[in-house]
Amino acid sequence: FQPLMPDLHYYYIVELSFYWSLMFSQFIDVKRKDFGIMFTHHIVTVTLITFSYVTNLTRVGTLILCLHDAADIVLEAAKMANYCKCQKLSDLLFLTFAVVFIVSRLGIYPLWILNTTLFELYEALGNFPALWVFNVLLIVLQILHCFWSYLIVKAAYKAISKGKVAKDARSDVESSSDEEETVTRSKASHSAITTNGTSGANGTNGYLTGATCSEEH
C-alpha cells in the first residue's frame, strides 16, 4: 500500500535487465558444472523481481537485491585482482567475499527477510495466493545460498591452508576443457594463462589463479 518511488522503479529495471542478460549469456558462455543451478537461480530471481514489482512488495524486494549486490561487488573485485595477476590481493578479496556472502545470505537473509515474509507479512496482510508463491521462491533461493556457502567455505579453507585459492569446484568447465586448454596454451607465450578467467586451473571463474603479483603486469 505504499507508492513506488522513481529511484526504486529504475533500480528494479536495471536489476531485472541484468539478470535477464545473465540468463541468456549462459547459453553462449563456456558451459560449467553448475549450469543447471545457476539457470535455476536466474529463473527464480527474474520471477521474484517481476512478482514483487507487480504485487508492490518492492521494499522487501529492494532489500534482497541489496543483500545480493553487496557480496557480488567484492567477488567482481576479486576477479579483477586475478586478471591483474595479484594473487595475494585476489585471495584477500575472496576471503572478504566469503565473509560478506555468509553473513548476508545465511544470517541477514533468513533471520530478517524470511522471518518478515513468512510470519510478519502474513500477520499484517493475511493469507493471499501471491504470498505463497513469493515465499516458496524465497525459500528456494535460500537453499541455493546454503549450497554455494558450502562451496565457498571449502575454497576459503584452501586459501587459508595452502596460501592460495587453487581451484573453484563450483565453476569447473564441464565440457571440452582439455581441448580448450591445449589450444590456449599453444597460442600463449608463457604458462600463466587467464583467458578471461575460464581456462584451466589458472583462471577458474575469474578469481582463481596460481600466478602471483608481478611488476611486469
The full set of domain ranges for the chain reads 6-168
Contact status, residue 174 vs residue 35, Cβ threshold 8 Å: yes
Task: Share the mean pLDDT of the chain.
Answer: 78
**Residue 191 gets which letter from DSSP?**
S
pLDDT in the model for residue 101: 94
User: From the DSSP assignment, how many helices (H) and strands (E) are in the chain?
Assistant: 8, 0
| Separation of alpha carbons 51 and 138, rounded Å | 11
Position 14, amino acid: V
**Per-residue pLDDT at 197 exceeds 80:** no
pLDDT in the model for residue 169: 52
Helix (H, G, I), strand (E, B) or coil at 81: helix
pLDDT in the model for residue 107: 94
Task: With 0.85 as the threshold, say if the pTM is over it.
Answer: no
| Separation of alpha carbons 61 and 53, rounded Å | 8
pLDDT, average across residues 11-25: 92
Q: What are phi and psi of 62, to 5 degrees?
A: -65, -40
pLDDT, average across residues 5-22: 93
At 170, list the grid cell: 563450483
**Per-residue pLDDT at 184 exceeds 60:** no
**Per-residue pLDDT at 200 exceeds 60:** no
| Separation of alpha carbons 42 and 128, rounded Å | 25
Helix 35-54 with 129-162: angle, nearest 10 deg: 140
Contacts of 51 by beta carbon, 8 Å cutoff, 6+ apart: 57, 130, 133, 134, 137
| Separation of alpha carbons 131 and 153, rounded Å | 33
More confident residue, 172 or 104: 104
**Model confidence pLDDT, tens digit, residues 206-217:** 444 444 444 443
| Separation of alpha carbons 119 and 51, rounded Å | 19
Helix (H, G, I), strand (E, B) or coil at 3: coil
At 187, list the grid cell: 597460442
Contacts of 113 by beta carbon, 8 Å cutoff, 6+ apart: 60, 63, 64, 67, 138
Contacts of 82 by beta carbon, 8 Å cutoff, 6+ apart: 90, 194, 197, 203, 206, 207, 208, 209
